[in-house]
Amino acid sequence: MSNYYQPDIETASREEIEKLQSERLVKAVKRVYEKVPIYRERMDEAGVKPEDIKGIEDLYKLPFTSKQDLRDTYPYGMFAVPMEEVARLHASSGTTGKQIVVGYTQNDLDIWGDIVARQLVAAGITKKDKVHVAYGYGLFTGGLGIAEGSRRLGCTSIPVSSGNTARQLTIMQDFLSDAIACTPSYAMYLGESAAKAGIDTSKLPLRAGIFGAEPWTEEMRKEIEKSLNIKAYDIYGLTEIMGPGVAYECSEQRGMHVNEDHFIIEILDPETHKPVPDGEKGEIVFTCLTKEAFPLIRFRTKDIGTVTHEKCACGRTFVRMSKPMGRIDDMLIIRGVNVFPSQIETVLLQMNLSPNYQIIVDRKGVLDTIEVQVEMTEDTFSDTISDISRYERELADRLKSVLGIAAKATFVSAGSIARSEGKAKRVIDRRNLV
């Protein structure tokens, strides 16, 4: 039995992939130039004609697009088909500001289903399995995106949507879910709630999890795998480009294969806009090759990551991207030092502390302060004050060595930090910097 959904393309040679990308890019650029005014204006300004784009080697000549362009043309200014051809609208979850709206033709939805199905198969899911979808259904792409993939693969989807944790656990037990898809922070919470409810997850058929839509660490993966007794896979996507399934993890779990027949990934130095070598961090930029309704060219995601062309033992030949290390938007600048919430999370989990934490940034006079509040767990602490302050000092020391600046560490009581059913809110910035 093959563990690929579309083996011909998932294991194609680099030459074949690049040839296909070049053909598709030429067509995509011609189309957007004809159909979407903003592309024509930008390309005219830059002195680039569609004929100048002969293949992927010419990609660098094309102007960038950004979230701001989507906001400026809100709601439908960047659509490339008339509304009668649009089968579905979705909107970004608005984590970083005003929402944007995107559209899909029937064909776009089929392709979306295919790329999500590639992930499901890579996670060992077959037609016989039942996939419990606890991502939100609605304008957010998570729920319906995974549903499209399940439908294309032919497995059974259980559209539970997000929320009502007790009900999620009942359904998981009664409907015998084989796999679950939700945000990693919610998966942590489900694991925690299952333990509290006395559910022995090793007795459930659940064996795989498809988790994405927000940053998570390897340590968090271990926690989830342990508490839900599953193998946890990372899936990456963003509304603007498609939704979940832009890149997907295989059983090697060493980076996510980018669906390169539909998207070109570039990793660029955010300042010079030049590509950085494999393994070096930069801003992730995507170009859609086949999207009909809402094709973005050189979209700056503001996500930071790396890419590798190294061969993967799974046999897939698509390049692999790292877990995004955060967004340029998420990056906190504290006393001039760049700090990512993911660095803090790694420290917490390495010390076996609770993954339920919050980062509070404030300004006292001219000095920025950062405080990490983390919940106490029953097994790590006895309740003497001196124990707690010893742990707090140790955590503060570790944070200082990783972040390069001093941070206050505070333990708070278990359960006191709000849980999220979708994306977790980790940072509270009280500095009012606008």
Site for ligand ADP, rule CB under 6 A = 92-96, 212-215, 234-239, 301, 303, 323-324, 327
User: Which is closer to ligand ADP, CB of 148 or CB of 368?
Assistant: 148
User: Which is closer to ligand ADP, CB of 37 or CB of 94?
Assistant: 94
Instruction: Decide if 219 contacts 345 (C-beta within 8 A).
Output: yes
Q: Least separation, in Å, of the C-beta of 90 and ligand ADP?
A: 9
296 interface partner picked from Zn ion, ligand ADP, none, CB below 5 to 8 A per type: none
Q: Least separation, in Å, of the C-beta of 349 and Zn ion?
A: 25
Query: In sequence order, which residues have a C-beta less than 8 Å from that of residue 428 and are 6 or more positions away?
Result: 358, 359, 360, 361
252 interface partner picked from Zn ion, ligand ADP, none, CB below 5 to 8 A per type: Zn ion
Cis peptide preceding 184, ω within 30 of 0:
no
Instruction: Decide if 239 contacts 93 (C-beta within 8 A).
Output: yes
172 interface partner picked from Zn ion, ligand ADP, none, CB below 5 to 8 A per type: none
With 0-12 CB in 10 A as exposed, 13-18 as middle and 19+ as buried, what is 98? Answer: exposed
Does position 124 bind Zn ion by CB under 5 A? no
Residue 380, classed as helix, strand or coil, is coil
User: Which is closer to ligand ADP, CB of 298 or CB of 323?
Assistant: 323
316 interface partner picked from ligand ADP, Zn ion, none, CB below 5 to 8 A per type: Zn ion
Q: Which has the closest alpha carbon to 3: 331, 271, 341, 249? A: 249
User: Which is closer to ligand ADP, CB of 145 or CB of 191?
Assistant: 145
For residue 360, list its beta bridge partners: 371, 428
String of contacts with Zn ion for each residue 306-335, x by CB under 5 A: ------x-x-x-------------------
Q: Least separation, in Å, of the C-beta of 13 and Zn ion?
A: 16
User: Which is closer to ligand ADP, CB of 92 or CB of 354?
Assistant: 92
User: Which is closer to Zn ion, CB of 229 or CB of 251?
Assistant: 251
Query: In sequence order, which residues have a C-beta less than 8 Å from that of residue 383 and are 6 or more positions away?
Result: none
Q: Least separation, in Å, of the C-beta of 331 and ligand ADP?
A: 12
> Within 233-292, which residues bind Zn ion (CB under 5 A)?
250, 252
What are the tokens at 150? Answer: 């399940």
What are the tokens at 429? Answer: 């910035």
> What are the backbone dihedrals phi and psi of residue 352, each rounded to the nearest 5 degrees, phi first?
60, 30
303 interface partner picked from ligand ADP, Zn ion, none, CB below 5 to 8 A per type: ligand ADP
Q: Least separation, in Å, of the C-beta of 85 and Zn ion?
A: 35
Distances (CA, A) of 243 to 14, 66, 116, 140: 25, 16, 9, 8
312 interface partner picked from Zn ion, ligand ADP, none, CB below 5 to 8 A per type: Zn ion
User: Which is closer to ligand ADP, CB of 303 or CB of 421?
Assistant: 303
Handedness of CA 422, 427, 428, 431 (dihedral sign): negative
Q: Least separation, in Å, of the C-beta of 252 and Zn ion?
A: 5
Separation between Cα atoms, residue 294 and residue 288, nearest integer Å: 9
Q: Least separation, in Å, of the C-beta of 124 and Zn ion?
A: 13
User: Which is closer to ligand ADP, CB of 50 or CB of 215?
Assistant: 215
Q: Least separation, in Å, of the C-beta of 303 and ligand ADP?
A: 5
Instruction: Decide if 261 contacts 30 (C-beta within 8 A).
Output: no
Phi-psi region of 282 (alpha: psi -120 to 50; beta: other; left: phi over 0): beta
What are the tokens at 233? Answer: 């896979």
Give contact residues for Zn ion (rule: CB under 5 A): 250, 252, 312, 314, 316
